[in-house]
């Protein structure tokens, strides 16, 4: 039996491994799992996000993006040198979560946007899109089933507060 990868492409680490294995032509059989059973964002549950929480989250994201540019990317083509690495895949798949929620994290950040384009080109545009398709469509998904929502809402709200 060959390599089996149990992945949920909603998961950032799973997308990084998926891209790594495909790009390096490591043969595998994908076994799709649903780590979150259809629950990813409060909005997905049909719950609004408070303006205060959104502002705080976006401010934290801005600080993180600046740190990524200044401390890690600096003036390099990729995070750890002249070639794409697993570090780049982990970072880019993490940044695709806010992109999937409609946040334009690369807008107004030419250095980060150029890095994004280099990573996408190194991986291949088709593979990059394939790996991120599920996260980019997540915001358009219908709300969770009401019974699931009722069971999970207290835990989800506790995590985000």
* Position 71 in a domain: yes
Contact 100, 133 (CB under 8 A): no
pLDDT, tens only, 130-155: 999 988 887 676 666 667 666 666 76
- CATH number, residue 107: 1.20.1050.10
Q: What is the pLDDT of residue 148?
A: 63
Per-residue three-class SS string for the chain: CCEEEEECCCCHHHHHHHHHHHHCCCCEEEEECCCCCCCCCCCCCCCCCCHHHHHHHHHHHHHHHHHHHHHHHCCCCECCECCCCHHHHHHHHHHHHHHHCCCCCCCCCHHHHHHHHHHHHHHCHHHHHHHHHHHHHHHHCCCCCHHHHHHHHHHHHHHHC
In degrees and rounded to multiples of 5, residue 104 shows phi and psi of: -85, 75
For tokens 């491994």, what's the residue? 17
Contact 139, 96 (CB under 8 A): no
* Position 104 in a domain: yes
The predicted model gives 3-8 an average pLDDT of: 83
Rg (CA), the chain: 17
* Position 115 in a domain: yes
* Position 22 in a domain: no
* Position 13 in a domain: no
- Residue 117, domain extent: 48-141
CA separation, residue 42 to residues 5, 91, 99, 152, 157 (Å): 28, 23, 16, 10, 8
**Rounded CA separation 75/81 (Å):** 10
Contact 135, 96 (CB under 8 A): yes
Q: What is the pLDDT of residue 40?
A: 47
* Position 26 in a domain: no
In degrees and rounded to multiples of 5, residue 94 shows phi and psi of: -65, -40
pLDDT, tens only, 41-95: 555 556 666 778 778 878 888 888 998 999 989 999 999 989 999 889 989 988 8
């Amino acid at each position: 039996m060959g390599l089996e990868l149990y992945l949920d492409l909603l998961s950032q680490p799973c997308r990084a491994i998926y891209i790594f294995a495909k790009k390096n032509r490591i043969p595998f059989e994908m076994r799709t799992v649903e780590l979150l059973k259809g629950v990813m964002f409060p909005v997905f549950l049909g719950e609004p996000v408070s303006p205060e929480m959104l502002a705080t989250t976006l401010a934290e994201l801005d600080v993180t993006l600046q740190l990524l540019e200044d401390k890690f990317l600096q003036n390099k083509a990729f995070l750890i040198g002249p070639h794409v690495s697993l570090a780049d895949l982990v970072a880019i798949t993490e940044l695709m979560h806010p992109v999937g929620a409609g946040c334009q994290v690369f807008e107004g950040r030419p250095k980060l946007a150029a890095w994004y384009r280099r990573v996408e080109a190194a991986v291949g545009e088709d593979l990059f899109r394939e790996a991120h398709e599920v996260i980019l469509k997540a915001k358009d998904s219908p709300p969770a089933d009401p019974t699931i929502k009722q069971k999970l809402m207290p835990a989800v709200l506790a995590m985000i507060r």
